[in-house]
Amino acid sequence: MEWISNSRILIVGLGLIGGSYAKALKRLGYHITAIEKRQSAIDYALENHIINDGYTTVDPEIVGSADAVIFGLYPKVFKDWIAQYQDYLKPGAMLTDVTGVKSCIVYDIQKMLRDDVEFIASHPMAGREVYGVENANDRIFRDANFIIVPTDKNTPEGIRWVGGLARIIGFSRISVLSPEEHDEMIGYLSQLTHCIAVSLMTCSDNEHLVEYTGDSFRDLTRIANINDLMWSELFMLNRDSLLKYMDIFLGEFAALRDMIRDGRVEELREKMRLSTKRRAYFNK
């Protein structure tokens, strides 16, 4: 087994992803401490042996004993946490996160951060439409993508460390993108996708649709079950990339509508063949 040198890991924010990291890492033998404001989440994680110990407040000794810290917080809360508590961090500690947007936080955090610790941003593409440590499941990382998002401030050691973390947890593919590339890509693949699911779901208030539907509508609206607090924050923090892709999609969709309206069947079929061809890249 590959190994990362830091043996005491602190997870700050024990949601779905933080909790799933905890589960995976504890299974591998690491000592896992959690800081999470929700006592019931700590209780659940202790009862289910997902963590070794957990706290609802930020104690200097607890933070100071961690070799590595994984932040599973909302973007703004994450920045505030660093501003307020970074003095507690152990010299040499490695930090990473699971945040869905990068440009708006990575530079700010690296700028304010002490010189003797390193924050290397990363994004595990393993989200689910369920939330909380109560749904934690370390199988979500299998077959999932992991994106390392370094800047000029990161060291080769930092990049290797977070790549090692991803490998031991079981991610199947690890890529490196700049914060800007990451946010552009996420605007399309994740945020636009959620906007579409929400809009599709709100088209009708018919409560009986479940009696008639097939799997395609169910699949397209699975993520219409959405955490409004988290996603609205992510959308606003990546507004430019998201709006760019929303407008591209609007153009594609309106063009398709016009083809149908005008009975331009050959163009319609050409578009379908293009989508079929592009979808083929995604067949696993």
**Is the alpha carbon torsion for 239, 74, 24, 67 positive or negative?**
positive
Q: Which residue's CB is nearer to a copy of itself, number 28 or number 226?
A: 226
Bridge-based pairing of strands 94-97 and 118-119 is parallel
Tokens of 67: 């070799």
Q: Which residue's CB is nearer to a copy of itself, number 84 or number 275?
A: 275
Q: Which residue's CB is nearer to a copy of itself, number 145 or number 151?
A: 145
With a CB cutoff of 8 Å and minimum separation 6, the contacts of 217 are 200, 209
Minimum CB–partner distance for residue 118 and a copy of itself (Å): 23
Q: Which residue's CB is nearer to a copy of itself, number 180 or number 252?
A: 252
Minimum CB–partner distance for residue 233 and a copy of itself (Å): 8
Q: How distant, in Å, are the alpha carbons of 93, 94, 119 from that of 155?
A: 13, 11, 10
Task: Give DSSP secondary structure letters for 173-217.
Answer: EEEE--HHHHHHHHIIIIIIHHHHHHHHHTT---TTGGGT--HHH
Tokens of 1: 């087994």
Minimum CB–partner distance for residue 269 and a copy of itself (Å): 4
Minimum CB–partner distance for residue 89 and a copy of itself (Å): 30
